[in-house]
Amino acid sequence: MTDHKIQTEDGRTLSFADFGKPDDIAVLCCHGGPGSRVELKSVAPQAIAAGFRLIGIDRPGYGDSTVNPGRSICDWTADALAIADHLGLHKFMTVGLSTGGSYALATASVAPTRVMAVLVGCGMSDMSWACRVEEARMKGAESIWDAVNRDESIALAIDQFGEQGEKMLEVDPDAEPMLSPADLAFVMQPDYGANDPNNEPFRQGVLGYADDRIADGPKNGWSSFDINAVVCPVTVIHGEQDWIVPITHAHHTVSLLPDAQLKIFPQHGHLSLGMELVSTLEALMGRVEPKAI
């Protein structure tokens, strides 16, 4: 892994990590919320062996990427394309996990001639739809979505995660559990978290997470980009034991796309699903038309 930083035209810093070889198939990776550029470090060796070059990008407020208050989902696509241009990537795939699924799809919507395919893993769908569907609600985030302003959103995020994420995996005995048995087993592995000793998701506190929730909440949903402009092949994968993002989101996202396939993994939850990333990427690449490469 090599870390990099570039400057945007408006003077912000973008931080990203490059896993792989220059001539391999480039994959711009959109992390979860909270998350960071190092999120896929554990699967990078497998990806490299399969011929993929993973490029993890810190969204504003995460890792070393400058905070950008008021950003929308679509605003971020300019950052992704700036990194692609910096690396000389004309064609690439996008991957989005959880919160990042929306950003991966948005990038495909604004750059249809460059994005060859999209993989969405345990991704949130359009929250302006989900807020009206009981089985699609995400109660853990609703207090932040209901906040009256950004300051209140930040305060609520601190209450949920702690100033520096120290409450991330705390179990509230009075609250509905968020981690399924599959995810509990995953986080109990001895090497869980070893790839992120610097706590990159919370390097700037909870600012990135609060801005994520403002951007994708029911008031905004996917209004900042056109889902109908996504014309490349899309694969949506979801864990049947996902207690964080309801599986209804996966079904809804697939229903909106003309060339989408859904694969459910009964053995996985929200966090453990990342173990299937590389094999799914390989299968997805087989659906890309040669002329699109």
Position 58 scores a pLDDT of 98
The pTM for the full model equals 0.96
Question: What mean pLDDT do residues 96-106 have?
Answer: 98
Spans of all domains in the chain: 2-292
- 113-130 pLDDT, tens digit per residue, is 999 999 999 999 999 999
**Residue 192 scores a pLDDT above 90:** no
Position 5 scores a pLDDT of 97
- Per the structure block, which two tokens stand in for 5? 């930083």
**Residue 277 scores a pLDDT above 70:** yes
Class of domain 2-292: alpha beta
Position 101 scores a pLDDT of 98
- 4-61 pLDDT, tens digit per residue, is 999 999 999 999 999 999 999 999 999 999 999 999 999 999 999 999 999 999 999 9
- 132-152 pLDDT, tens digit per residue, is 999 999 988 899 999 999 999
CA-based nearest residue to 262, from 93, 108, 107, 121: 121
HEC-encoded secondary structure of the chain: CEEEEEECCCCCEEEEEEECCCCCEEEEEECCCCCCCCCCHHHHHHHHHCCEEEEEECCCCCCCCCCCCCCCHHHHHHHHHHHHHHCCCCCEEEEEECCHHHHHHHHHHHCCCCEEEEEEECCCCCHHHHCCCHHHCCHHHHHHHCCCCHHHHHHHHHHHHCCCCCCCCCCCCCCCCCCCHHHHHHHCCCCCCCCCCCCHHHCCCCHHHHHHHHHHCCCCCCCCCCHHHCCCCEEEEEECCCCCCCCHHHHHHHHCCCCEEEEEECCCCCCHHHHHHHHHHHHHHCCCCHHHC
Assign 262 a pLDDT band (cuts: 50, 70, 90). Answer: very high
Assign 206 a pLDDT band (cuts: 50, 70, 90). Answer: very high
Position 284 scores a pLDDT of 97
Residue in the block written with tokens 């599986």:
247
Assign 191 a pLDDT band (cuts: 50, 70, 90). Answer: confident
Q: Omega into 34 within 30° of 0, i.e. cis?
A: yes
Residue 273 or residue 173, greater confidence:
273
Q: What is the mean pLDDT of the chain?
A: 94
**φ and ψ at residue 263, rounded to 5 degrees:** -130, 125
- 56-80 pLDDT, tens digit per residue, is 999 999 999 999 999 999 999 999 9
Q: Rounded distance, CA 187 to CA 195, Å?
A: 13
